A = this chain, B = another copy of it.
């Protein structure tokens, strides 16, 4: 079992320098107090509960590996409790307050995903790839009062916004020789005055647990509101669909800020799995980890799958690794290539608005009903609803009727069910636009095949998907038109071998003025995340209007 190897091979380095908790027996330590009058047969669906159960059941089993460090489930629960106390006492966080997180895949992020809801506050995970003005916008729009931020990302917060925030700084402390980390020191010095039973956990499973900002087709990022119940249902659905178990070793190739890490931070803890943190997409290191720790699961955009597949250190594994790919359709060539390495790939589809991947393709067990030579073609499509979401539908944009299941008629993908967002934060107008005829309209176009499975034919026309990230063409256009020298701009999705798509800018210079491609790119880099900046700037005399 890979997990026990991990537990033995790594030093329990963090647990050792924490002050011991009092001697409450475990089963009392991890108990949540029930409210007076609460009926015995109803407990709010809340992913925080997964941690408390796993801390009791999986105790000394390795929960987290991060570089040379690793720690067990008891330690994860203890660290989370300390962070919750810290937020409550030192940062005066009240139920409903927004706490932003700007971190890579470090243990602090995982801990925050339990500590913040455990005090009924609201998480606001920030995309680490955003530029300063974008991050400032999201922090302001969400009304976050506290920020947990990793050192190298701190300069992304403008001084003005910094002044209005209480800040917890995290150093990426992954090796024993690394410089001291302020976050670790805070945890160490926090007294766990309140135990789990004293924390103000939510009593309403339909309350807001997180606001996840996403770039849609309309410019400014929108704050997707997700609930406790939704995250619980998505996490337990992922346990079933990804076959998670205590023998799972998960590698964090997916950014944790992406739809709350597709809810895996909760699903993995629920299943008693081991999670391996990862900050940097270094594929030599990734292959080293896969081989050394016998990684059983990872998720990522097509770019990630492509790099894993074609890396020089890639070898055929002597066990099956399950990989999940989302963000854009994946070429069957890569699915086959990964299969040859014993990496079985499942395509998924979803949006931040649907808690991440709520549509997935056939897994191996379900393919048994089809002849083997059809398998590759079948899994190259996006699939059907996961177990905790309602049926995925493809509707005609005008009539809101289902398209014919003929693989030909194109419609818009629509979703409904327990893992559908509650709406956009403080944005009733955008919320109203995307809910129509009782369903959520994704903006993505698809056909339905005769077997009921959907296949994406086009992402919504104003969204460019680059390495799994959404780019709003309108946002980039608006940025470029913000330059005095530019009178008009149009962004299109240009092809890119590595990232799938990248933005190409068509620019019309204002009469009597002049500018250069470099000047435009510099302006973009200052105002936009790097991945949103155009790969090419093409000057033109006019932009044809077709609509």
- A interface residues with partner B (beta carbon < 8 Å): 1, 3-4, 7, 25-28, 30-32, 34, 36, 38, 40-43, 45, 49-50, 52-53, 56-61, 72, 206, 227, 229-230, 236-237, 239-240, 243-247, 270-272, 362-366, 368-369, 384-385, 387-388, 390-391, 393, 402, 404-405, 416-418, 420-422, 435, 438-440, 448, 450-452
> Is there an interface contact between A452 and B27, defined as CB atoms closer than 8 Å?
yes
**CB <8 Å contact, A368 and B1:** yes
Other-chain contact of A60, B42, B369, B417 (Cβ < 8 Å): B369
CA A45 to CA B205, docked complex, whole Å: 13
Chain B neighbourhood of A363, CB < 8 A: 245-246
The answer, among B31, B59, B362, for a CB contact under 8 Å with A369, is: B59
- Quick check: A439 and B4 within 8 Å, CB to CB? no
Contact pick for A366, options B25, B61, B404, CB 8 Å: B61
Q: Whose C-beta in chain B lies nearest to the C-beta of A420? A: B41
Q: Can you list 5 A-B pairs, Cβ within 8 angstroms, ordered by A?
A: A38-B438, A40-B438, A58-B369, A61-B369, A236-B388
List residues of chain B with CB within 8 A of the CB of A41. Answer: 227, 230, 416-418, 420-422
Report Cα–Cα, A440/B448, bound state, in Å.
48
Within 8 Å CB of A56, what residues of B?
A: 384, 391, 452
Contacts of A7 in B (CB 8 A): 368-369
CA distance A59 to B384 in the complex (A): 13
Q: Looking at the assembled complex, report how far the CB atom of A543 sits from the nearest CB atom of chain B, in whole angstroms.
A: 37
Copy count, this protein chain: 2
Q: How far is the CB of A274 from chain B (nearest CB, A)?
A: 10
Question: When chains A and B are docked, how far (Å) is the Cα of A328 from the Cα of B315?
Answer: 49
Q: Which residues of B contact A369 (CB under 8 A)?
A: 4, 7, 58-61, 72
Q: Establish whether residues B40 and A420, one from each chain, have CB atoms under 8 Å apart when the complex forms.
A: yes
Task: List 9 A-B pairs, minimum CB-CB distance, nearest first.
Answer: A246-B365, A4-B368, A247-B365, A60-B369, A61-B369, A27-B452, A41-B420, A25-B405, A40-B416
A102 to chain B minimum Cβ distance, whole angstroms, is: 27
Q: A272-B365, A438-B34 are in contact. Are A243 and B243 (CB under 8 A)?
A: yes
CB nearest neighbor in B for A450: B25
